[in-house]
Amino acid sequence: MRINLKTQLSIPITFLSITLAWVLFRAETLNSALHFYKTLFNFNTLNFLDIKDTQNLWIVFAMLIVWILPTTEQWIKKREITFTYGLIIGCIALSAIVQITNIQEFIYFQF
């Protein structure tokens, strides 16, 4: 399998760009956004792999799931959709819908 470097670099660069751009949309003020960026890129106090902080391990685990596992489209193309798969996907979708409890107002109402 041939690895295309352009594609492999474009995915994380796009992800990082979008993630950093969201800070500007979610911050209350420009100063708070700049403070967040300064804190985010302050590598002097970096302690990401603190074993006491299990939240960091969950973030790493979630990132591995997102980046390594196949997408839904890739997964469906490899399998024949049967009643069992449909039931499993339906249960996962129902579980996700039930878990939605924190409703936030639309982001553009802040402007």
Q: Scan for tokens 């006491």, then name that residue.
A: 52
Q: Scan for tokens 């500007």, then name that residue.
A: 24
DSSP string covering the chain: ----HHHHHHHHHHHHHHHHHHHHHH-SSHHHHHHHHHHHT-GGG--TT-TT-HHHHHHHHHHHHHHHSPPHHHHHHHS---HHHHHHHHHHHHHHHHT-------GGGG-
Residue 30: pLDDT over 70 = yes
Residue 3 banded pLDDT, cuts 50, 70, 90: low
Q: What are the tens digits of pLDDT across the range 45-98?
A: 655 555 556 666 777 788 888 878 888 788 778 877 788 888 988 999 888 888
Residue 103 banded pLDDT, cuts 50, 70, 90: low
Residue % of the chain over a pLDDT of 70: 75
Tell me the average pLDDT across 25-52: 76
Residue 20: pLDDT over 60 = yes
Rounded mean pLDDT of the chain?
A: 78
pLDDT score at 43? 63
